[in-house]
Structure 1
Amino acid sequence: MDIASIIGICLGLGAVFGGAALEGLHMGALVQPTAAMIVCGGTLAATCVSFPLPTLMQALKDLKRVFLPPQEDPEGVIKNIINYAAKARRNGLISLEQEAQTVKDSFTKKGISLVVDGIDPQKLRETMEIELGSFKEHGKGSAEVFESAGGFAPTIGIIGAVLGLIHVMSNLSDASKLGGGIAVAFVATIYGLMLANIFCIPFGTKLKHRLKEELLQKEMVIEGLIAIQNGENPHFIEQKLRAYLHDGGHEKKAK
């Protein structure tokens, strides 16, 4: 579980509602089902218009990744690659065929299979980089969905506020209700800003961070498998892969 995501959401909501309470605002004034329906429904509608259904469904599935980090970390990737290298050095590349059957990650599994098949290292890199590019584009889609929703939400909140003000202005004959009516109208704006800045945009940013982590690990897999195919020493392979864990090495590979 990603504790930072949980803490961030709790802090964000606590700051808004806690600040409102310190100002003496009754919490019931912030609970407006109509405003919530306008903001959430309108934001969802605008997002649905912007993206195809498969991308939207994938974004919903990827939402769990905001709270659940990848199961494997870079250290685990390095450990696995070194094990593959040691085994290949002892028993030959064909010995990795059994590993290809047990690896859960489809990207690594395909790479090992290509190594076992004896594909040319350059062709191996080209094939795996195509897979990497496809994975990157696929992952970017989910982040873009939440970022777009974060862009729509404040504007939909303003629409809700304007609708509320229209209702207030149509009842100007009862001056006693003007203040409360205007306050209710602006709750929609608060909902829009909260939805965008506490949920949607941070979710998109976290998914981009997750994608960056996974791309780094897959780049490490590519380099490791090519090194194994070239018969390089496991110790040298480990040093090469650990260079990815330094900021300088990561930035170099990202360019």
Structure 2
Amino acid sequence: MDIASIIGVAMGIILMLLGIITSGGIQTVGNFLDVPSALITIGGSNMAVLASRSIPEYVGALKSYTMIFKVAANDTKGVIKQIIDLSNTARKEGLLALEEAAGALDDPFMKKGVMLIVDGTEPELVKSILEAEIDSMADRHKSNYSVFEDIAAQGPAWGMIGTLIGLVNMLNDMSDASKIGPSMAVALITTLYGSIVANWFCFPAAGKLKARSNAEYMAKSIVIEGLLSIQAGENPRVTEEKLKSFLSPADRAAYEADNGGGATEGGAE
């Protein structure tokens, strides 16, 4: 489980409730619960986004929310190690030896690339096929996190719509001055709900999903770069140095520590 997401989402609502309770007492929590305001703000913002999407796309995006609580499976350093192992195999035994090595790969994307190379596919075509796949993946991911971005953009707007509806109702009945304050409070709750929808629920989800998508895209880009280097017959050490450029300084140091300072077996000419 992704502890950061769990803490962030849980503590967001807990701290908000603590703020309400410490400022006015626990009895004031009910002042912030209003069904009509929720219907207008949460319902309106979601329906506005649904109107711009298909139902499967919208439902699929909502289901992807649970992914922010799962730890990403991308292991960039492990991917580089696999590529270098394949590079050493190709250098020692030839490209056709990669067909057997591909059987031990768990990553379907890497396996697909290796088999394209074994089949003698032209490098430009290999690159084109694999890049088309990761571009398609990125588009699917964007269709998910953009739904949350759109709901976040709509939330405050629908909160204002709810506020205006409340103000209209209040101004139409000002005969009892004692009701003006409570009516104004209810009108403002919709604005509060819009801000909560945007900043507690949607923006964090969109940011986490986008970061996960970018990380996966980078991992697959490393695979493409590595496989093309293997196909070009480059020295495994050169390939390793090229792929390490994708890593942050901390990850690069960790990779080198795990792999003997980055030395590549069979890297010498």
Shorter chain as normaliser: what TM range? Answer: 0.7 to 0.9
Task: Deviation per CA, 1:32-70: give whole Å up to 9, x if none.
Answer: 222112211111100101223343233123223322232
**Greater C-alpha radius of gyration:** 2
State the match for 2:4 in structure 1. 4
SS at structure 1 position matched to 2:73: coil
The alpha-carbon distance between structure 1 residues 101 and 63, as it changes in their structure 2 partners (threshold 3 A), is farther
- 1:217 is displaced (CA, Å) by 0.5
Is the CA contact (8 Å cut-off) linking 1:69 and 1:210 kept in structure 2? no
The TM-score with structure 2 as length reference comes to: 0.83
Cα-Cα RMSD: 2.1
Is the CA contact (8 Å cut-off) linking 1:65 and 1:210 kept in structure 2? no
Q: Where does the alignment leave 5 or more consecutive residues of structure 2 unmatched? A: 250-269
State the match for 1:212 in structure 2. 214
Aligned ranges 1:97-176 → 2 under 5 Å: 97-101=99-103, 103-176=105-178
The amino acid across from 1:3 in the alignment is I
- 1:241 is displaced (CA, Å) by 1.0
- Which of the residues 88, 95, 98 maps onto 2:97? 95
Q: Where does the alignment leave 5 or more consecutive residues of structure 1 unmatched? A: 248-255
Task: Deviation per CA, 1:155-193: give whole Å up to 9, x if none.
Answer: 111112222223333432233222222212211110110
State the match for 1:253 in structure 2. none
CA distance in structure 2 between the aligned counterparts of 1:162 and 1:105, rounded to whole angstroms: 53
State the match for 2:74 in structure 1. 72
CA distance in structure 1 between the aligned counterparts of 2:248 and 2:202, rounded to whole angstroms: 30
SS at structure 2 position matched to 1:245: coil
CA distance in structure 1 between the aligned counterparts of 2:101 and 2:167, rounded to whole angstroms: 65
SS at structure 2 position matched to 1:172: coil
- Which of the residues 199, 218, 224 maps onto 1:222? 224
Q: Which moved more, 1:48-57 or 1:116-125?
A: 48-57
Q: Which moved more, 1:177-186 or 1:60-69?
A: 60-69
Q: Which moved more, 1:125-134 or 1:194-203?
A: 125-134
SS at structure 2 position matched to 1:50: coil
The alpha-carbon distance between structure 1 residues 125 and 177, as it changes in their structure 2 partners (threshold 3 A), is same
Is the CA contact (8 Å cut-off) linking 2:102 and 2:115 kept in structure 1? yes
Is the CA contact (8 Å cut-off) linking 1:39 and 1:188 kept in structure 2? yes
- 1:107 is displaced (CA, Å) by 2.4
- 1:219 is displaced (CA, Å) by 0.7
Normalized per residue, the structure richer in helix is 1
Task: Deviation per CA, 1:102-144: give whole Å up to 9, x if none.
Answer: 5443322321221121112222112222222222222222121
CA distance in structure 1 between the aligned counterparts of 2:101 and 2:86, rounded to whole angstroms: 8
The TM-score with structure 1 as length reference comes to: 0.87
Is the CA contact (8 Å cut-off) linking 2:49 and 2:151 kept in structure 1? yes
The amino acid across from 1:174 in the alignment is D
Is the CA contact (8 Å cut-off) linking 1:66 and 1:207 kept in structure 2? yes
SS at structure 2 position matched to 1:241: helix
Task: Deviation per CA, 1:207-252: give whole Å up to 9, x if none.
Answer: 21111111110110001111122233333322221111137xxxxx
Is the CA contact (8 Å cut-off) linking 1:2 and 1:67 kept in structure 2? yes
CA distance in structure 2 between the aligned counterparts of 1:71 and 1:100, rounded to whole angstroms: 20
